[in-house]
Amino acid sequence: MDAASADENKSGLIRTPILENPVELPSKNINAKVIRATFPPHFKTPWHTHEGPGPRYVVRGKFEVTDNGTVKTYGTGEVFWETGAKMAVQNMSDETAELIIFELAPAH
C-alpha cells in the first residue's frame, strides 16, 4: 500500500478512477482548459473538431455522442473520452443538459 492509499484509509477519503486513457501530445507546451457546456433541450451541435482530446463528464442530462464514426449515449455521472476527431453531440432530454469538458490542446 502506498502512502497516498494509507492516508485515504485513515481519512475516509475514497478516490476511484473512472476513466484512464493514454495520451500522446504533439507538443510539450499544452493548454489545459476546463469548460462548462450547457445544452438546451434537444440541442445538437454541428459537426466539429477540437484541437485536442480529453475526458468529458456529464453533470446532468443524456447525450448522444458521435465521435470518429462511433455513436454512444451517456447519462448523468458518466465520463467519456473525446478523441479530437470529427464529432457531434446532442442533448437527448427534454431538460437542459450539462457537460464539463477537460480539453488538452497545444499552447499557442
Contact 61, 75 (CB under 8 A): yes
Report the predicted TM-score, pTM, of the whole model to 2 decimal places.
0.80
**Would you give per-residue pLDDT tens digits along the chain (108 residues)?**
555 555 556 788 888 888 888 887 777 788 888 999 999 999 999 999 988 789 999 999 999 999 999 999 999 999 999 998 999 999 999 999 999 999 888 787
Asked if 47 and 86 touch (Cβ cutoff 8 Å), the reply is: yes
Q: How far is CA 105 from the centre of its chain?
A: 14
The domains located in the chain, with CATH, are: 28-106 (2.60.120.10)
User: Bridge partners of 67?
Assistant: 70, 87
Residue 81: closest CA among 92, 69, 67, 91: 67
- Find out whether 31 and 107 touch, Cβ atoms under 8 Å: yes
pLDDT of residue 99: 96
